[in-house]
Structure 1
């Protein structure tokens, strides 16, 4: 493109070159060449500026996308953490409730054991009374058996005495004259 621009500039100058001096012609060519270089440099600078602007916009877009992704990831992490905290709190409540229940069961078991121990201690302290009661109960049973035996003996002796009396009465009756 530089060559085409240079050629056009030189052709335009060539018509003027006949009328001007060689020095003027050279300075016009140098000026045209300088102007072409300046325009080329301006186009290049504009292109570089546009490219830099696009690169900057792309960097900004990526930074915004990364920030949005980070924000979204942070929100998701916060939500996961909140769910985990909730689960942990529920687990802690369940654990506390289970521990309270187990403590209550242990307390009831200890109370039962204390009552059983107190009962046994009371029985040991009153063991002599229990022994006396058992002996009295056995003595009462022995008395009942003895009483039944005495009653049976008395009935037997009463029946024997009755029979003896009836036998004597029959003897007396047969010995008597007026029979």
Structure 2
């Protein structure tokens, strides 16, 4: 910038020198310097405005780029969160299904155990209800065994009495025979 101003100043100065020879009035020389100076300032302002516009445009582009990066990052985070939430929901649903299956199995086991207990109680109640019959059958069985033992004893006694009677009859017959005259 300073070089441009210096250049313009030199140009203006050389013009002024040239003009002073040609121009007659000091007023014209001052007006020419002021015009050259104004032209330099206008050119400097134009360059500054272009630089500021370029800086503003770059700042807007950088801001837009950062906004796109932030939006993409936010979208990736949202997708990660959604995937994590879906996985958590899936694991929770799987856990609840397992828990429900286990509870169902345990309920069935308890129901089976209750049914077995009820059946055992019914069986015991039937046995108690028929206890008199069991006692009667037991007594009849014992009586039958007693009768068998008694019958065996009677049979043994009868056999031994029969053998004794036979031996006595045979003994008497031999005595008679021995006592008779005609042997």
Shorter chain as normaliser: what TM range? over 0.9
2:103 & 2:80 partners in 1: Cα distance? 34
Q: In the alignment, does 2:10 pair up with 1:13?
A: no
**Counterpart in the other structure of 1:41:** 45
**Counterpart in the other structure of 1:3:** 6
TM-score, normalising length: structure 1: 0.93
Per-residue deviation, residues 63-120 of structure 1 (Å, max 9, x unmatched): 1111111112211221222222222222211111111111111111110011111111
**Counterpart in the other structure of 1:124:** 128
Q: Where does structure 1 differ by over 4 angstroms across 4 or more consecutive aligned residues?
A: none
**Counterpart in the other structure of 1:80:** 84
Matched residue SS, 2:22: coil
Q: In the alignment, does 2:176 pair up with 1:172?
A: yes
Cα RMSD of the aligned pairs, angstroms, is 1.4
* Structure 2: gaps of 5 or more residues: none
The one of 53, 59, 70 aligned to 2:57:
53
The one of 93, 103, 108 aligned to 1:104:
108
**Counterpart in the other structure of 1:133:** 137
* Structure 1: gaps of 5 or more residues: none
Residues matched between the structures, number: 179
1:121 & 1:57 partners in 2: Cα distance? 94
TM-score, normalising length: structure 2: 0.91
